[in-house]
Amino acid sequence: MKVATWNVNSLSARWPRVESWLIDQHPDVVLIQETKQTDVKFPFAQLEALGYESAHYGQGQWNGVAILSRIGLSDVERGFGDADAEARIIGATTAGVRVYSCYVPNGRAIDNPHYQYKLEWLSKLHQLVERRDRARHIVVGGDFNVAPTDLDCYDPSVFVGATHVSEAERDALRALERSGLVDLTRALNPGEPCYSWWDYRNGSFRRGWGLRIDLLFVDRDLLDKASSSYVDRDARKGEKPSDHAPVVGEFTI
Protein backbone atom coordinates (compact mmCIF):
# COMPACT_ATOMS: atom_id res chain seq x y z
CA MET A 1 0.00 0.00 0.00
CA LYS A 2 1.51 3.27 -1.19
CA VAL A 3 0.23 6.42 0.54
CA ALA A 4 1.22 9.99 -0.36
CA THR A 5 0.50 13.43 1.05
CA TRP A 6 0.85 16.48 -1.20
CA ASN A 7 0.01 20.14 -0.79
CA VAL A 8 -0.71 20.99 -4.44
CA ASN A 9 -1.24 24.77 -3.97
CA SER A 10 -4.41 24.91 -6.11
CA LEU A 11 -5.65 21.76 -7.80
CA SER A 12 -7.00 23.88 -10.67
CA ALA A 13 -3.55 25.31 -11.40
CA ARG A 14 -1.80 21.99 -10.65
CA TRP A 15 -4.06 19.47 -12.40
CA PRO A 16 -1.66 18.64 -15.28
CA ARG A 17 1.15 17.96 -12.78
CA VAL A 18 -1.11 15.99 -10.43
CA GLU A 19 -2.58 13.86 -13.21
CA SER A 20 0.81 12.91 -14.68
CA TRP A 21 2.19 12.21 -11.20
CA LEU A 22 -0.67 9.82 -10.42
CA ILE A 23 -0.09 8.01 -13.71
CA ASP A 24 3.68 7.78 -13.17
CA GLN A 25 3.73 6.89 -9.46
CA HIS A 26 0.54 4.83 -9.03
CA PRO A 27 -0.08 5.66 -5.37
CA ASP A 28 -2.98 3.78 -3.78
CA VAL A 29 -4.02 6.62 -1.48
CA VAL A 30 -3.32 10.35 -1.85
CA LEU A 31 -3.95 12.99 0.81
CA ILE A 32 -4.25 16.37 -0.89
CA GLN A 33 -4.16 19.85 0.65
CA GLU A 34 -4.92 23.33 -0.68
CA THR A 35 -7.22 22.33 -3.52
CA LYS A 36 -8.51 25.95 -3.45
CA GLN A 37 -11.66 24.70 -5.18
CA THR A 38 -15.35 24.29 -4.56
CA ASP A 39 -16.72 20.76 -4.85
CA VAL A 40 -18.24 21.79 -8.22
CA LYS A 41 -14.78 22.30 -9.74
CA PHE A 42 -13.15 19.22 -8.18
CA PRO A 43 -12.10 16.72 -10.93
CA PHE A 44 -14.11 13.73 -9.66
CA ALA A 45 -14.64 12.31 -13.17
CA GLN A 46 -11.02 12.70 -14.30
CA LEU A 47 -9.84 10.95 -11.13
CA GLU A 48 -12.35 8.16 -11.59
CA ALA A 49 -10.94 7.65 -15.10
CA LEU A 50 -7.54 7.12 -13.44
CA GLY A 51 -9.03 4.57 -11.06
CA TYR A 52 -9.54 6.76 -7.98
CA GLU A 53 -12.53 7.31 -5.79
CA SER A 54 -12.37 10.78 -4.22
CA ALA A 55 -13.73 12.66 -1.24
CA HIS A 56 -13.35 16.44 -1.16
CA TYR A 57 -13.93 19.03 1.52
CA GLY A 58 -13.81 22.16 -0.62
CA GLN A 59 -14.10 25.80 0.34
CA GLY A 60 -13.25 27.87 -2.75
CA GLN A 61 -10.55 30.51 -2.78
CA TRP A 62 -8.59 29.08 0.15
CA ASN A 63 -7.85 25.77 1.87
CA GLY A 64 -9.65 22.63 0.67
CA VAL A 65 -8.56 19.04 1.40
CA ALA A 66 -9.18 15.74 -0.35
CA ILE A 67 -8.55 12.00 -0.17
CA LEU A 68 -8.09 9.85 -3.28
CA SER A 69 -8.04 6.06 -3.15
CA ARG A 70 -7.95 3.18 -5.60
CA ILE A 71 -8.61 0.65 -2.80
CA GLY A 72 -11.99 1.85 -1.50
CA LEU A 73 -13.29 4.93 0.31
CA SER A 74 -16.02 5.08 2.95
CA ASP A 75 -17.15 6.84 6.15
CA VAL A 76 -16.08 10.31 5.02
CA GLU A 77 -15.75 12.89 7.81
CA ARG A 78 -15.44 16.61 7.01
CA GLY A 79 -14.02 19.03 9.58
CA PHE A 80 -13.92 18.55 13.36
CA GLY A 81 -17.69 18.77 13.71
CA ASP A 82 -17.43 22.23 15.27
CA ALA A 83 -18.18 25.77 14.04
CA ASP A 84 -14.87 26.18 12.14
CA ALA A 85 -15.80 27.19 8.57
CA GLU A 86 -12.30 26.59 7.13
CA ALA A 87 -11.97 23.35 5.12
CA ARG A 88 -8.77 21.93 6.62
CA ILE A 89 -9.37 18.28 7.53
CA ILE A 90 -11.09 15.34 5.90
CA GLY A 91 -11.10 11.73 7.03
CA ALA A 92 -12.13 8.44 5.42
CA THR A 93 -11.59 4.71 5.70
CA THR A 94 -9.72 2.92 2.93
CA ALA A 95 -8.76 -0.79 2.97
CA GLY A 96 -9.57 -0.82 6.68
CA VAL A 97 -7.20 2.07 7.48
CA ARG A 98 -8.52 5.36 8.85
CA VAL A 99 -6.81 8.19 6.95
CA TYR A 100 -6.90 11.96 7.43
CA SER A 101 -5.73 14.74 5.12
CA CYS A 102 -4.79 17.81 7.19
CA TYR A 103 -3.99 21.39 6.22
CA VAL A 104 -2.80 22.91 9.48
CA PRO A 105 -3.18 26.72 9.67
CA ASN A 106 -0.01 28.65 8.77
CA GLY A 107 0.03 30.86 11.87
CA ARG A 108 1.50 33.84 9.97
CA ALA A 109 3.43 35.28 13.00
CA ILE A 110 3.75 34.50 16.69
CA ASP A 111 1.90 37.70 17.65
CA ASN A 112 -0.84 37.19 15.04
CA PRO A 113 -4.26 35.87 16.15
CA HIS A 114 -3.86 33.23 13.41
CA TYR A 115 -1.08 31.66 15.49
CA GLN A 116 -3.54 31.02 18.35
CA TYR A 117 -5.97 29.60 15.80
CA LYS A 118 -3.18 27.25 14.66
CA LEU A 119 -2.49 26.01 18.20
CA GLU A 120 -6.22 25.53 18.89
CA TRP A 121 -6.56 23.65 15.59
CA LEU A 122 -3.67 21.33 16.53
CA SER A 123 -5.29 20.75 19.92
CA LYS A 124 -8.51 19.66 18.18
CA LEU A 125 -6.46 17.32 15.99
CA HIS A 126 -4.91 15.82 19.11
CA GLN A 127 -8.38 15.23 20.58
CA LEU A 128 -9.44 13.51 17.36
CA VAL A 129 -6.37 11.25 17.52
CA GLU A 130 -7.08 10.45 21.18
CA ARG A 131 -10.67 9.45 20.32
CA ARG A 132 -9.62 7.15 17.46
CA ASP A 133 -10.61 3.51 17.07
CA ARG A 134 -7.43 1.80 18.24
CA ALA A 135 -8.49 -1.46 16.57
CA ARG A 136 -7.74 0.18 13.20
CA HIS A 137 -4.56 1.45 11.61
CA ILE A 138 -4.48 5.24 11.24
CA VAL A 139 -2.61 7.66 8.98
CA VAL A 140 -2.76 11.36 9.83
CA GLY A 141 -0.97 13.12 7.01
CA GLY A 142 -0.75 16.55 5.52
CA ASP A 143 0.85 19.96 5.54
CA PHE A 144 1.48 20.56 9.24
CA ASN A 145 3.20 23.92 8.78
CA VAL A 146 5.54 22.87 11.61
CA ALA A 147 9.15 21.66 11.28
CA PRO A 148 9.32 19.08 14.09
CA THR A 149 13.02 19.69 14.99
CA ASP A 150 15.92 21.85 13.84
CA LEU A 151 17.02 19.00 11.55
CA ASP A 152 13.84 19.72 9.58
CA CYS A 153 14.86 23.33 8.89
CA TYR A 154 17.63 24.42 6.49
CA ASP A 155 18.83 27.23 8.78
CA PRO A 156 17.30 27.56 12.26
CA SER A 157 18.94 30.97 12.71
CA VAL A 158 16.65 32.38 10.00
CA PHE A 159 13.56 31.19 11.88
CA VAL A 160 14.33 32.51 15.37
CA GLY A 161 11.09 34.08 16.64
CA ALA A 162 9.11 32.82 13.65
CA THR A 163 6.25 30.37 13.29
CA HIS A 164 6.77 26.76 12.13
CA VAL A 165 9.56 26.14 14.69
CA SER A 166 8.19 27.46 18.01
CA GLU A 167 8.13 25.19 21.05
CA ALA A 168 4.34 25.39 21.33
CA GLU A 169 3.93 24.17 17.74
CA ARG A 170 6.52 21.45 18.15
CA ASP A 171 4.95 20.35 21.41
CA ALA A 172 1.61 19.98 19.61
CA LEU A 173 3.30 17.44 17.31
CA ARG A 174 4.91 15.68 20.29
CA ALA A 175 1.41 15.40 21.78
CA LEU A 176 0.39 13.35 18.73
CA GLU A 177 3.41 11.12 19.38
CA ARG A 178 2.46 10.74 23.05
CA SER A 179 -0.91 9.49 21.75
CA GLY A 180 0.89 6.66 19.97
CA LEU A 181 1.57 8.12 16.52
CA VAL A 182 4.97 8.09 14.81
CA ASP A 183 6.47 10.55 12.30
CA LEU A 184 7.00 7.95 9.57
CA THR A 185 9.51 9.76 7.32
CA ARG A 186 11.72 10.66 10.28
CA ALA A 187 11.48 7.17 11.80
CA LEU A 188 12.69 5.56 8.56
CA ASN A 189 15.25 8.24 7.66
CA PRO A 190 16.97 9.28 10.90
CA GLY A 191 19.46 12.10 10.41
CA GLU A 192 18.34 13.00 6.88
CA PRO A 193 16.64 16.38 6.37
CA CYS A 194 13.97 15.15 3.91
CA TYR A 195 12.69 18.66 3.18
CA SER A 196 9.24 18.78 1.57
CA TRP A 197 8.71 22.52 1.01
CA TRP A 198 10.78 25.26 -0.60
CA ASP A 199 9.68 28.90 -0.93
CA TYR A 200 9.02 29.95 -4.53
CA ARG A 201 11.12 33.05 -3.85
CA ASN A 202 14.89 33.47 -3.78
CA GLY A 203 15.59 30.33 -5.78
CA SER A 204 15.09 28.43 -2.54
CA PHE A 205 14.73 25.00 -4.16
CA ARG A 206 17.97 25.37 -6.13
CA ARG A 207 19.79 26.55 -2.98
CA GLY A 208 18.42 23.77 -0.80
CA TRP A 209 16.58 26.19 1.51
CA GLY A 210 13.78 23.84 2.55
CA LEU A 211 11.65 22.75 5.47
CA ARG A 212 10.19 19.36 6.33
CA ILE A 213 6.61 20.31 7.15
CA ASP A 214 4.63 17.69 5.20
CA LEU A 215 4.32 14.69 7.50
CA LEU A 216 2.78 11.24 7.73
CA PHE A 217 1.89 10.26 11.28
CA VAL A 218 1.02 6.56 11.62
CA ASP A 219 0.23 4.22 14.50
CA ARG A 220 3.14 2.15 15.84
CA ASP A 221 1.81 -1.12 14.44
CA LEU A 222 1.64 0.45 10.99
CA LEU A 223 5.26 1.62 11.36
CA ASP A 224 6.18 -2.05 11.81
CA LYS A 225 4.61 -2.73 8.41
CA ALA A 226 6.29 0.23 6.68
CA SER A 227 8.99 -0.49 4.10
CA SER A 228 9.98 3.04 3.08
CA SER A 229 9.18 6.74 3.22
CA TYR A 230 10.61 9.41 0.96
CA VAL A 231 10.10 12.83 -0.59
CA ASP A 232 9.56 12.92 -4.36
CA ARG A 233 11.75 15.95 -5.09
CA ASP A 234 11.32 15.47 -8.85
CA ALA A 235 7.73 16.72 -8.47
CA ARG A 236 9.13 20.08 -7.25
CA LYS A 237 11.09 20.52 -10.51
CA GLY A 238 9.99 21.56 -14.00
CA GLU A 239 6.99 23.52 -15.25
CA LYS A 240 4.52 25.03 -12.79
CA PRO A 241 5.37 22.95 -9.72
CA SER A 242 3.69 23.27 -6.35
CA ASP A 243 5.98 24.74 -3.69
CA HIS A 244 5.55 21.39 -1.85
CA ALA A 245 6.78 17.95 -2.97
CA PRO A 246 4.77 14.78 -2.29
CA VAL A 247 5.79 12.72 0.76
CA VAL A 248 5.29 8.98 0.30
CA GLY A 249 4.96 6.03 2.68
CA GLU A 250 4.92 2.38 1.59
CA PHE A 251 3.46 -0.45 3.68
CA THR A 252 3.04 -4.20 3.45
CA ILE A 253 -0.40 -4.93 4.87
The residue ranges that bind DNA (CB under 7 A) are 9-10, 12-14, 36, 60-62, 105-106, 108, 114, 158, 199-204, 209, 240
Q: With respect to DNA, which residue has the nearer C-beta, 69 or 166?
A: 166
List the one residue out of 37, 29, 78, 36 whose CA is nearest residue 54: 29
**In whole angstroms, what is the distance from residue 192 CA to residue 90 CA?**
30
CB atoms within 10 A of CB 165: 21
Q: What angle do CA 28, 31, 32 make, to 5 degrees?
A: 125
Contact between residue 99 and residue 76 where contact means Cβ atoms under 8 Å apart: no
List the one residue out of 201, 235, 171 whose CA is nearest residue 25: 235
Q: With respect to DNA, which residue has the nearer C-beta, 192 or 199?
A: 199
- Please state the closest distance from residue 106 (CB atom) to DNA, in A: 4
Q: With respect to DNA, which residue has the nearer C-beta, 47 or 218?
A: 47
- Please state the closest distance from residue 21 (CB atom) to DNA, in A: 15
Q: With respect to DNA, which residue has the nearer C-beta, 114 or 237?
A: 114
Q: With respect to DNA, which residue has the nearer C-beta, 188 or 211?
A: 211
- Please state the closest distance from residue 153 (CB atom) to DNA, in A: 10
- Please state the closest distance from residue 125 (CB atom) to DNA, in A: 16
- Please state the closest distance from residue 184 (CB atom) to DNA, in A: 22
- Please state the closest distance from residue 214 (CB atom) to DNA, in A: 12
Q: With respect to DNA, which residue has the nearer C-beta, 23 or 62?
A: 62
Q: With respect to DNA, which residue has the nearer C-beta, 96 or 208?
A: 208
